[in-house]
C-alpha cells in the first residue's frame, strides 16, 4: 500500500513533489484527471502507482485514498484568469473536489492531508509582508475557491480530528511548469517566449511584484509539513515562499541576461482580478517546520531557463 498520495500528480507542483518522494524511496500513488496536468509529466515517475481519475467523482477519491497515510493535495485549476472566465469550473475542481477528497480521506483512515493553499487569499491589501494573522480578502473566484479549501481543512481537523496542514504558496515557478497555456504562470511564459526570441507581454506597468518561489522550496516545505509533529502543525496554516519580492520589470531584466533576448517587453492593460504586490512573511513556517528557502530567486530562474533551453517540455 502506498504511504503517500499526491493529487494533481501530472501537474507542475504535484509532479515535482512525487519525484522527490519517489527519489527518496517512498511508496507513492498519484492521481490526475489531465484537465491541466500532462501525461508527459509522468515520465520519470514509473515507480509511482498512477490512477487516472477526477476528484469531482467521490468514487475516484475513495480509490485514491485507500490505504494511504498522508495526502498531498496539489490538484487544482491554478489560474486567476481561468477562474474569472469560468468561475463554476474553478469551484467544481477546487472546492467540490477538495471536499470529496477530505470525505474520502477520513473514510479511508488517512492520517494527514497537506493542502496547497494560495497567497491569493490575502487579496489586494496594501500591507506587506503578508502574514497569517491578516484577515483574508480574496478578490478572484480562484482565491475564493482556494480559501474555501483551507476552511474545509481546518473544519475537518476540528470536527473529525483529521490532521491537516495548509501551506499558502506564493507564485511557484520552475521546471515542468507548463508555458504553453494562456493561463500559465508568468515566468514559464516569459522563459519560453524570450528563449524563442519572442516579445513577452507585461500586463500593467510591470511595477507589480511577487514573492516568486522556486519549486524546490515548495517541495522542501511539503516534506517538512508531512513529517512535523501533529501537535505543532495540525490545523495550522502558513505561508510557503521566500520572503523576497521582485517586480515584473526586474524579472524581465534578469531573464534578458539569462536568455539572451534582445528586445523590450510589450505593455498591455492590467489583468482583471490581479493583485498589485505580494510578499510573504515566512516566520511561521520557519518556526513550525524549521523551513528555510533552499534556492534563491536568481538561481531558481537560472535552473528554470536551462530546463526550457534544453527543449523541455518535450
List the end-to-end C-alpha distance of the chain, in Å, as a whole number: 32
Closest CA to 78 of 215, 207, 171: 171
Helix (H) or strand (E) holding 51: strand 49-52
Q: Contact with ligand UD1 (CB under 6 A): which of 72, 152, 156, 170?
A: 170
Q: Which residues contact 69 (CB under 8 A, 6 or more apart)?
A: 3, 4, 110, 111, 112
Looking at 23-31, 98-106, 183-191, 287-295, which segment touches ligand UD1 (CB under 6 A)?
Answer: 183-191
Interface characters, 4-43, with ligand UD1 (x: CB under 6 A): ----------------------------------------
Establish if 212 lies at the interface with ligand UD1 (CB under 6 A). Answer: no
Q: Contact with ligand UD1 (CB under 6 A): which of 50, 72, 115, 169?
A: 169
How many residues make contact with ligand UD1 (CB under 6 A)? 21
Q: How far is the CB of 218 from ligand UD1 (least distance, A)?
A: 10
Longest dimension (CA), the chain: 57
Classified as helix, coil or strand, 4 is strand
Establish if 300 lies at the interface with ligand UD1 (CB under 6 A). Answer: no
| Cβ distance to ligand UD1 smaller for residue 215 or 248 | 248
CA distance 136 to 268: 29
Can you read off the three cell numbers belonging to residue 40? 508527459
Question: Rule CB under 6 A: which residues touch ligand UD1?
Answer: 78-80, 118-120, 169-171, 184-186, 189, 201-203, 208, 210, 248, 271, 274
Just list the catalytic residues. 142
Amino acid at each position: 500500500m502506498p504511504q503517500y498520495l499526491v493529487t494533481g500528480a501530472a501537474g507542475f507542483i504535484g509532479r515535482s513533489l512525487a519525484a522527490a518522494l519517489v527519489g527518496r524511496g517512498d511508496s507513492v500513488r498519484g492521481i490526475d484527471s489531465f484537465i491541466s496536468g500532462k501525461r508527459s509529466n509522468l515520465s520519470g515517475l514509473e515507480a509511482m502507482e498512477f490512477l487516472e481519475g477526477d476528484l469531482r467523482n467521490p468514487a475516484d477519491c475513495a480509490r485514491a485514498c485507500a490505504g494511504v497515510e498522508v495526502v498531498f493535495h496539489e490538484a487544482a485549476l491554478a489560474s486567476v484568469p481561468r477562474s474569472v472566465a469560468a468561475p463554476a469550473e474553478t469551484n467544481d475542481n477546487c472546492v467540490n473536489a477538495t471536499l470529496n477528497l477530505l470525505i474520502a480521506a477520513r473514510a479511508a483512515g488517512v492520517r494527514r492531508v497537506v493542502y496547497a493553499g494560495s497567497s491569493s487569499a490575502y487579496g489586494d491589501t496594501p500591507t506587506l509582508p503578508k502574514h497569517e494573522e491578516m484577515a483574508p480578502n480574496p478578490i478572484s473566484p480562484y482565491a475564493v475557491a482556494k480559501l474555501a479549501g483551507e476552511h474545509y481543512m481546518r473544519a475537518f481537523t476540528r470536527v473529525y480530528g483529521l490532521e491537516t496542514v495548509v501551506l499558502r504558496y506564493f507564485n511557484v515557478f520552475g521546471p515542468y511548469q507548463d508555458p504553453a497555456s494562456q493561463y500559465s504562470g508568468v515566468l514559464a511564459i516569459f522563459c519560453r517566449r524570450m528563449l524563442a526570441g519572442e516579445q513577452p507581454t507585461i500586463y500593467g506597468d510591470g511595477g507589480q511584484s511577487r514573492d516568486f518561489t522556486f519549486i524546490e522550496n515548495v517541495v522542501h516545505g511539503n516534506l517538512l509539513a508531512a513529517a512535523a509533529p501533529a501537535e505543532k502543525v495540525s490545523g495550522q496554516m502558513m505561508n510557503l515562499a521566500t520572503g523576497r519580492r521582485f517586480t515584473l520589470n526586474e524579472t524581465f531584466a534578469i531573464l534578458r541576461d539569462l536568455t539572451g533576448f534582445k528586445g523590450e517587453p510589450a505593455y498591455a492593460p492590467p489583468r482583471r482580478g490581479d493583485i498589485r504586490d505580494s510578499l510573504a512573511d515566512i516566520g511561521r513556517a520557519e518556526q513550525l517546520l524549521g523551513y528555510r528557502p533552499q534556492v534563491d530567486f536568481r538561481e531558481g530562474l537560472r535552473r528554470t531557463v536551462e530546463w526550457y533551453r534544453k527543449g523541455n517540455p518535450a
